[in-house]
A = this chain, B = another copy of it.
Amino acid sequence: MTTDPYNIACTHGFIQSSCSDCNLKGLCLPIAMDLKDIDRVNDIIKRSRPIHAGEHIYRTGDGFTSIFAVRSGSIKTYLLDDDGVEQVTGFYLPGEILGFDGIGNNTHGCNVVSMETSTVCEIPFERIEELSLQIPVLQRHFFQLMSQQIESDHQMMMTLSKKNAEGRVTTLLVSLSNRFSRRNLSAKSLRLPMSRMDIGNFLGLTIETVSRTFSRLQKEGIINVDGREIHINDNEKLHSVCHASK
């Protein structure tokens, strides 16, 4: 086994060191990109050593130099307000890209921490910006990724503003289920990468309410809960509860 810090990260047991081999490339790179251009992107990417649970990738105020693609594990982003109150602003799973805040004023706008052992691909922004000038489909891709982030943030505003506890929790479950199945993992059985604390913080609820909501959904036969293991029994009901408003 190699000791190269950029190559020991793969969780699948084999070294995966190039974008063209990566089974996540359909998520973080444009599909319609020819191999030559993928290699040009590949050349500027730095692959990380494993990042342990609780370890930060960057913090608010750090100089902005790179965006990051999650390769394995799971990551959360959060803000701290003036009083030190934490607000979780997002959960990021393999194939997803984070760090698009930060471009605005050349300073990272949030804190990023690993929720379990994770690996990321670091994408130096100035380099990818140059490439984007030369590869139109890449420029378009980044506009699209940022646009999707904006759309999903707006959905989140809707969730926080209009939905009750059941609606919020089920919305998160549906989102996670979709994102797992995009990676060809089970949409029915999933292991939550985050604590009840983080769920509550993200959804604007207390841990007690999150816990009670899980229990209620289980009692109604919609899901089975065993700690962080969730099984979706009744997807239809789950989706209908999803719209529950306050």
Contact = CB atoms under 8 A, between A and B. Distances in A.
Interface of A: 79, 81-83, 85, 87, 89, 100-105, 109-110, 129, 132-133, 136, 139-140, 142-151, 153-158, 160-162, 201-204, 243, 245
B81 A148 contact: no
Given A104-B144, A150-B100, A150-B146, A79 B155 contact: yes
B82 A243 contact: yes
A161 B79 contact: no
Given A143-B129, A147-B146, A157 B160 contact: yes
Contacts of A109: 147, 150-151, 154
Contact of A162 (B81, B102, B139, B140): B81
Given A81-B158, A204-B160, A243-B81, A139 B150 contact: no
A139 B132 contact: yes
A125 to B, nearest CB: 9
Given A103-B146, A157-B160, 7 more contacts: A81-B162, A82-B243, A83-B245, A87-B158, A102-B147, A103-B147, A133-B136
Contacts of A148: 104-105
Q: Which of A85, A133, A142, A151 has the most CB of B within 10 A?
A: A151
